[in-house]
Structure 1
């Protein structure tokens, strides 16, 4: 199994507490996801993030094909970090860590994703041709949306 890694860092002009308030709510996932992916939460318990929480949703990541995805929040330390793991979905492996660190001007947010695709050699080829670029597009959109939501406000 070939394991891939994506790491992004973003500085947010807001307190760790405000960032945590936004990012620990599964309801806000749709806000920071590309519209053309048709992201829709199917089921979650309407509570703030906690270890063991299950969130199921559908989205159309490629070619308009609808897929189901089930995420489990495996670890959550308020105002510090949380980890979500795909339990069911398009990846063979998906492990996403979100870190929040106070800075002099706000918050440093770091995302680290490890993922693997099914289908061996074909999966590696698909990663190179499609998946890697799609994930870069998704995280670029997320970065820009967070800039719009948090960093374009006049303080």
Structure 2
């Protein structure tokens, strides 16, 4: 059994409250997801995030094939972190931690994604050339989109 991890970090020139307000609203996930993914919330995204919230989506991760995806928000510690876990969908395991930390002049966001693919040897064979590549592409899009929305974080010199 192989569990993969992906970690990303991004600094934004906004307060931790602004970051929390944006990321805790499920509707904003569509804004920071590439259009070709065909991402649509079909249920459960009509309230700000809370532990136990079930959110249903349709996504088209590969070749435009519609896939149903159901996640649960399992942990919420406002405004510092939350966790979403896949309940039904394309992965055998999807555990996504979102952390927010105040820094001088902004907020540092950290995503830690642990995931496992189905189909044993076949899943492992397609991991790097297909799945990992796609996940890195999605997070790169997200990073770029957040820069467009909030602007670039500038390190302050001492």
- TM-score normalised by structure 1 residue count: 0.96
How far the C-alpha of 1:47 sits from its partner, in A, is 1.2
Aligned mates of 2:129, 2:152 — CA distance in 1: 34
Q: 1:45 Cα deviation (Å)?
A: 5.2
Say what the alpha-carbon RMSD is for the aligned residues.
1.1
2:75 maps to 1:75: yes
CA drift at 1:105: 1.0
Residue 148 of structure 1: SS of its match in structure 2? helix
1:111-149: CA deviation from partner (whole Å, max 9, x where unpaired): 000000001110000112200100000000000001111
Which residue is equivalent to 1:110?
A: 110
TM-score (norm 2): 0.95
**2:11 aligns to what?**
11
- CA separation in 1, counterparts of 2:32 and 2:7? 17
- Partner in structure 2 of residue 99 of structure 1: 99
Aligned to 1:146: 146
Q: What SS does the aligned partner of 1:83 have?
A: strand
Deviations for 1:3-40, whole angstroms, at most 9, x for unmatched residues? 00000000010000000000000010100000011100
> Which stretches of structure 1, 4 residues or more, deviate above 3 A after TM superposition?
none
Structure 1 residue aligned with 2:137? 137
Per-residue CA deviations over 1:48-71 (Å, capped at 9, x if unaligned) read: 101000000001011111100000
Number of aligned residue pairs: 153
What are structure 1's unaligned runs of at least 5 residues?
Answer: none
